[in-house]
Amino acid sequence: FKGIIGLVTMKKVREPLEVTVVGQNIIVADDNYKWLQILPDKKRYSMTVMFDNKGNPLEYYFDINIKNITQKGNARTIDLCLDVLVLPNGEYELVDEDDLMYALQNKQISKKQYHEAYIIAHQLMIEIEDNFSEIQDKVMRCYH
C-alpha cells in the first residue's frame, strides 16, 4: 500500500451521531468509537471506515476525490462531492449526487470532473460487488 492511513479515536462525544446507510440507521460516532481514514496515493477516492467501541466495522465511506494529497502532516483530499456508502454485509449505495450537480451548476467543478466522478464511483461499486471481502481484509490489516 502506498498512501497515508490515520486513526481517529473518539474518547468522549457530546452525543452519538446516527446516520442512515442503505436504509438502515446506524450510530457511527460514540464514546470510544474509531474512524480509520485511508488515502491511497494516485487513486481518486479515499475511504473512512467507522468502528464501534469493540472494533467492529459499522460503515465503509468512500469519498470520490479530484485527488488525494498524502503529504505527511498535511494529508487531505480535494473532494468531488460524490460518495459510495457500504455496510459490512456488502450492501452499498451511491449518495450526494445532488451535491455533485450543485458543484457543476455553480462552476466549482468542470463537466469532465462531473463525469469522472461517476466513472470512479461505478468502478468502485464494481470492485465492491466483486471483491468486498478482500477490501474488508485489507482494512482490518490496516486497523490492527
Contact (Cβ atoms closer than 8 angstroms) between residue 141 and residue 40 = no
Q: How many CB atoms lie under 10 A from the CB of residue 130?
A: 10
User: Terminus-to-terminus CA distance in the chain, angstroms?
Assistant: 15
pLDDT at 144: 86
pLDDT one-digit tens code per residue, 79-104? 899 999 999 999 999 999 999 999 99
CATH number at residue 50: 2.40.380.10
Share of the chain above pLDDT 70, in %: 100
pLDDT in tens, 31-53: 999 999 999 998 999 999 999 99
Give the pLDDT of residue 62: 97
Count up the domains in the chain and report the number: 1
Distance CA 72, CA 116 (A): 27
pLDDT tens track for 55-70: 999 999 999 999 998 8
- Phi, psi (5° rounding) for residue 15? -155, 150
pLDDT confidence of residue 47: 97
Name the pTM for this structure.
0.93
Domain that holds residue 136: 3-143
Phi-psi region of 40 (alpha: psi -120 to 50; beta: other; left: phi over 0): beta
